[in-house]
Amino acid sequence: MEEKCLQGQFKELDPILDKYAKVPGSLITILQQAQEIYGYLSIDAINYISAITDIRVAKIYGVATFYTQFRLEPIGENLIMLCQGTACHVNGSESIEEAVCEYLGIQDGETTEDNFFTINNVACLGCCSLAPVMMIKTADGDETYGNLTKVSVVKILKEIKSRA
């Protein structure tokens, strides 16, 4: 019954589920694709995935909460990922985070009131030679910014906001 109620709501996910639902070990792939389509993993999406794959909701939720790549809440139009890896930390990522949070009026994991920006600290972006670094997922794709300062990061955010 619940599957039928949710089916129309998640039709974009059906081709992925048709391909991977019965493939052992494919839950992370399914969750990644679902998040790519919907921006986050809602409880309804998790219930639908469970109904189609016969994987218990608790197991899906456990995987979704274990891996930091998954989000259970909607995010803003632009996702700011601030690297907090060793190289970035040593090169001042804390002051970059302070500048971003102060400018936007939000903290790690939060979204601005206008739903334009969400900020997330991440363990590593793999751009250590550019430390400190951030990546911003925009409608146009991912943009990476390195050698950040408190001044440059605010300038970048203002520039992205001006494109809207």
d(CA 64, CA 134): 23
**What CATH number has the domain bearing residue 92?**
3.40.30.10
pLDDT of residue 1: 41
Residue 71 forms part of a structural domain: no
Structure token digits, residue 164: 């809207």
More confident residue, 131 or 141: 131
| CA neighbor of 81 nearest in space, from 64, 92, 90, 69 | 69
d(CA 82, CA 104): 14
Residue pair 135/95 in contact (Cβ under 8 Å)? The answer is no
pLDDT of residue 68: 79
d(CA 16, CA 53): 11
CA-based angle 81:77:158, to the nearest 5? 75
Residue 72 forms part of a structural domain: no
pLDDT of residue 146: 97
Q: Is the dihedral of CA 128, 39, 138, 140 positive or negative?
A: positive
How many domains does the chain contain in total?
Answer: 2
Examine the domain organization and report whether 61 and 82 are in the same domain: no
Between the CA atoms of 133, 137, 138 and 141, what dihedral angle is there, to the nearest 10 degrees?
A: 100
What average pLDDT does the segment 118-125 reach? Answer: 92
Give per-residue pLDDT as tens, 19-77. 999 999 999 999 999 999 998 999 999 999 999 999 999 999 999 999 878 999 899 99
The pTM for the full model equals: 0.76
- The rounded mean pLDDT for the chain is 92
Examine the domain organization and report whether 59 and 12 are in the same domain: yes
Examine the domain organization and report whether 51 and 97 are in the same domain: no
User: Confidence band (pLDDT; 50, 70, 90) for 132?
Assistant: very high
What average pLDDT does the segment 128-155 reach? Answer: 95
Residue 160 reports pLDDT greater than 70: yes
Residue 32 forms part of a structural domain: yes
Examine the domain organization and report whether 51 and 99 are in the same domain: no
Contacts of 95 (CB under 8 A, 6+ apart): 150
End residue of a domain, out of 16, 42, 66: 66
Give per-residue pLDDT as tens, 83-120. 999 999 999 999 999 999 999 999 999 999 999 999 99
Examine the domain organization and report whether 32 and 109 are in the same domain: no
Residue 73 forms part of a structural domain: no
Examine the domain organization and report whether 57 and 119 are in the same domain: no
Examine the domain organization and report whether 46 and 112 are in the same domain: no
Residue 82 reports pLDDT greater than 60: yes
| CA neighbor of 17 nearest in space, from 40, 3, 64, 42 | 3
Give per-residue pLDDT as tens, 5-17. 555 789 999 999 9
Between 150-163 and 93-104, two packed helices, what is the crossing angle to 10 degrees?
40
| Structural domain of 16 | 2-66
